Amino acid sequence: MATLEIRDLHVSVGDGSDGAKEILRGVDLTVQAGETHAIMGPNGSGKSTLAYAVAGHPKYEVTSGTVTLDGEDVLDMTVDERARAGLFLAMQYPVEVPGVSVSNFLRSAVTAVRGEAPKLREFSKDMKQAMENLSIDPAFAQRSLNEGFSGGEKKRHEILQLEMLKPKVAVLDETDSGLDVDALKVVAEGVNRFASGDTGVLLITHYTRILRYVKPDFVHVFAGGRVVAEGGPELADELEEQGYEKYVKAGASL
Amino acid sequence: MGLDVKPLSTLHDKASFEVADFDVPTGREEEWRFTPLRRLRGLHNGTAEEGGKVLLEAEAPPEVTVETVGRDDARLGRAYVPSDRVSAQAWNSFTQATVVTVPKEAVASAPTVLRLRGEDASAAAYGHTTVIVEPFAEATVVLTHRGSATYADNVEFVVGDGARLSVISLADWSDDGVHVSHQHARLGRDARFVSHNVTLGGDVVRISPSVSYEGPGGDAELYGVYFVDGGQHLEHRLLVDHAVPNCRSRVDYRGALQDQDAHAVWIGDVIIRAEAEGTDTYELNRNLVLTDGTRVDSVPNLEILTGEVAGAGHASASGRLDDEHLFYLQARGITFDQARRMIVRGFLGQLVERIEVVEVREKVREAIEAELDRGAD
C-alpha cells in the first residue's frame, strides 16, 4: 500500500529581489493508495505551491519538513526520480513543447517510469484505448505536445498521461479549472477510473463543482499556507454554501 | 555606413563582377561586422594563396545533365551578380564550373547529388555552380560539403516559369573548414523554390542565400538548421528581394549553440519594392542556447516600399532551454539529459522533417544526435 506522507512542510519561493517568501507554513497530510483527498482553498492559499513542491519544481524551496513516499525521502530525489518513484503531478498550465509529439512523449515517459521500453504494439493499443476513454481524437498522437491545444484538450492529456503512467500517488493541480461541463465530466470519469484502483489522489481545486462527479474521502481546507480544517465530503458541501471567508480569516490569524 | 544619402533600398544595393568595385572589408561594414575576418585566410582581401582543391563527385538521374565547363560558358553568371568582395573574388578565380540542367517539363526521377570534398585547407579554392531548371521541370538537388577547405563559391539556381526546385545544402566541413558562399535563386513566373541549408561543421561558414523574382506567382521557402559548437562561427545572411507583384516567401532558420565561443549569426533581409504589391512574406529565426559562453546575433530587416502587401512579418527569438519544458518532461520520469535531447530534437526536427530526401533527412538527424552526444559529456 503506497503512502505519501507530508510532515510540517515549509516552502518558500524566491522573488528575485529581497529574498524568499514563505508560502507553506507547516503542512501535514497523509495520502494512502485508494484514497481521494480534496484540497480546497482560496486563491493564494498555497495549494499549487504544495503540488509543485512535492513534484520538485526548482522555483520552490523546501526550508523544513519532510515528504516521504513509502518511507523514501522524496525531497532528496530529482524531479524525474520522483516521477519514477510513483509521483505524478497533473499541471494546471501544461506547457507546449514544439516538435515533441504526444506519442513520442508518452512512450518516452512510460519507458522511463517502467524502466523498460513497452512493446510498440501493446503501447499503441494502450494509448489508443486511453485516448478513446477520454474522447481524445487519435490524430492528437502525432501532434506536438500541447501545442495549439485548447485548455480542455490540455487537461485531458494530463489525465491521459496519468492513465498511461499509473502512478502510486497523483496530485491534480486545479485540473478542473477552465473546463466546460462536458470536459469536466470526461476528466472526472478519468479521475474516478484510477482513483478506484491503487492510486492515491490529491485533488487540488478552487471550486466544489468537480466534487459532484468525484467523491473525495477526505476534504482539507487550505488557508494561509496550511491546512485549517479537515473533514469528510460534508465539508465540501459547507464550503459550497458558505465560501472560504471564515477560513481566510483563520489562515490570516495564524 | 555613414550619414550620406541612402539609396531607395538600403539593403544590398551593390552588385558587380569586378573585385575592385568592392573595398576590402575592415570589419566595420554592416555586412561584415559579425564575421571574424582574420579567420577567412585572406579570402576577403586578395591575400589567399590559390591552389586549394575541392573535388566534385556528381550523381544524377537520366533526365538531368551535369557538366563541367570552363569560365567562358555563356550560361554562367546570368542569374546572379556578386554582391560582396568575396563573392566577386570567387567569380574571378574559379577555373571550372558545374552546370546542372533539368530540361523543359522533365521531372527528375531521383535527386541530383553534388558531393564536394575539400582536400586541403592551407590554400584557397574557388567554385561556381549553376543549376538550371527549365520551364515546368521539377528536380531536387543535394549539395554536400565535407573535408578540409578554404573555399569561396557562388551557386546560381535558375528556376524557370512553372518549374519546381528543391535544394538541400549540407555544410559539414572538418574543424578547419572555411567556406564563404552565395546561393542565389532566380524564380520565373509561378516557380517554386524550396531550400534547406543544414550547417554543422567548419571553423567559419558564411552562407548568403538570396532570392529574386522574375514574374508573379513565385514562391520561395528557405529553411535552415544549424548546430554551433565551441569556437565555431556559423553565419547565414538571407535576402529576399520582392520586386514583382504577388509572390510569396517564407524563411525559417533555427539553430542550437553549445560551448565556449560558439557564434551564430543570422541576418534576414526582406525588401518589398514599390512594384511588389500583394507580396506575402514571413521570416523567422530562433536560437536555442544550450550552455554559457555562446553568442547569437540575429537581425531581421524588413523594408517595405508599398502599402499593398498581403502579409509581411518577421520574428527572432533566442533563449535558453526553457526550465518549464524541462520540468514538465522530468515530471513524467524523463531524465534531464533525455529531456534536453527531446526538446532540441523537437525544435530542430520541425524543419528537418521537411527535408524530402529520406537519406539526407536521416543523415541530418544522425548528425544532430552526434552533436547532442558531444554536449552530454
B342 touches chain A (CB under 8 A): yes
Mean pLDDT score, A65-74: 97
Chain A CB contacts of B333 under 8 Å are 80, 83-84, 109, 112-113, 165
Per-state percent for chain B, helix, strand, coil, to nearest 5: 15, 45, 40
Chain B CB contacts of A82 under 8 Å are 331
The alpha carbon of residue A214 is apart from the nearest alpha carbon of chain B, in Å, by: 24
pLDDT at site A54: 97
Q: What is the spatial distance between Cα B40 and Cα B177, in angstroms, rounded to a whole number?
A: 10
Task: Give yes or no for a contact between B240 and B271, defined as CB atoms under 8 angstroms apart.
Answer: yes
Instruction: Supply the DSSP symbol for B259.
Output: S
CA angle B12, B18, B24 (to 5 degrees): 70
Mean pLDDT score, A237-241: 86
Three-state secondary-structure class, residue B23: coil
Q: What is the dihedral of CA B58, B64, B68, B71, to 10 degrees?
A: -130
A99 touches chain B (CB under 8 A): yes
pLDDT at site A15: 66
Q: Grade residue A190 by pLDDT with cuts at 50, 70 and 90.
A: confident
Q: Grade residue B204 by pLDDT with cuts at 50, 70 and 90.
A: very high
Q: Grade residue A106 by pLDDT with cuts at 50, 70 and 90.
A: very high
Mean pLDDT score, B24-47: 96
CA-based nearest residue to A1, from A65, A89, A67, A86: A86
Is A136 exposed, middle or buried, given 0-12, 13-18 or 19+ CB atoms closer than 10 A? buried
Task: Give yes or no for a contact between A159 and A130, defined as CB atoms under 8 angstroms apart.
Answer: no
pLDDT at site B8: 55
Are A95 and B323 in contact (CB < 8 Å)?
no
B1 touches chain A (CB under 8 A): no
Element (H, E) at B248: strand B248-257
Q: Grade residue A240 by pLDDT with cuts at 50, 70 and 90.
A: confident
Mean pLDDT score, B253-266: 97
pLDDT at site A16: 59
Nine-digit cell at A169? 500517488
Residues B331-355: b if buried by 16+ CB within 10 A, e if exposed: bbbbbeebbbbbbbbbbbbbbbebb
Q: Grade residue A250 by pLDDT with cuts at 50, 70 and 90.
A: low
Q: What is the spatial distance between Cα A50 and Cα A204, in angstroms, rounded to a whole number?
A: 9
Q: How large is the ipTM? A: 0.94
Nine-digit cell at A205? 481545486
pLDDT at site A197: 80
Chain B CB contacts of A99 under 8 Å are 345-350
Tell me the per-residue pLDDT of B158-170, one tens digit each, with 9 for 90 and over: 999 999 999 999 9
Please check the confidence at residue B274 and state whether its pLDDT lies above 60: yes
Please check the confidence at residue B1 and state whether its pLDDT lies above 50: no
Tell me the pLDDT of chain B averaged across its residues.
95
Of the candidates B328, B338, B350, which has its C-beta nearest A95's C-beta? B328
pLDDT at site A253: 52
Q: Grade residue B377 by pLDDT with cuts at 50, 70 and 90.
A: low
Tell me the per-residue pLDDT of B143-187, one tens digit each, with 9 for 90 and over: 999 999 999 999 999 999 999 999 999 999 999 999 999 999 999
Domain boundaries, chain A: 3-253
CA-based nearest residue to B210, from B256, B242, B234: B242
Tell me the per-residue pLDDT of B91-133, one tens digit each, with 9 for 90 and over: 999 999 999 999 999 999 999 999 999 999 999 999 999 999 9
Which residue in chain A is spatially nearest to B335 when comparing CA positions?
A80
In percent, how much of chain A has pLDDT > 90? 72
Total length of chain A: 254
Please check the confidence at residue B4 and state whether its pLDDT lies above 70: no
Chain B CB contacts of A56 under 8 Å are 331
Three-state secondary-structure class, residue A118: coil
Are A95 and B347 in contact (CB < 8 Å)?
no
pLDDT at site B72: 95
Q: What is the spatial distance between Cα A175 and Cα A187, in angstroms, rounded to a whole number?
A: 8
Which residue in chain B is spatially nearest to A90 when comparing CA positions?
B331
Task: Give yes or no for a contact between B203 and B233, defined as CB atoms under 8 angstroms apart.
Answer: yes
DSSP assignment of B179-214: EEEEEEEEE-TT-EEEEEEEEEE-SEEEEEEEEEES
Tell me the per-residue pLDDT of B276-334, one tens digit each, with 9 for 90 and over: 999 999 999 999 999 999 999 999 999 999 989 999 999 999 999 999 999 999 999 99
Are A112 and B331 in contact (CB < 8 Å)?
no
- Beta strands A218-223; A226-231: pairing state: antiparallel
Please check the confidence at residue A241 and state whether its pLDDT lies above 90: no
Q: For residue B59, what are the contacts with CB-CB under 8 A and spacing of at least 6?
A: B112, B113, B115
Chain B CB contacts of A58 under 8 Å are 323, 327
In CATH, A3-253 is 3.40.640.10: no
Tell me the pLDDT of chain A averaged across its residues.
91
Domain boundaries, chain B: 19-321
Nine-digit cell at B334? 524523463
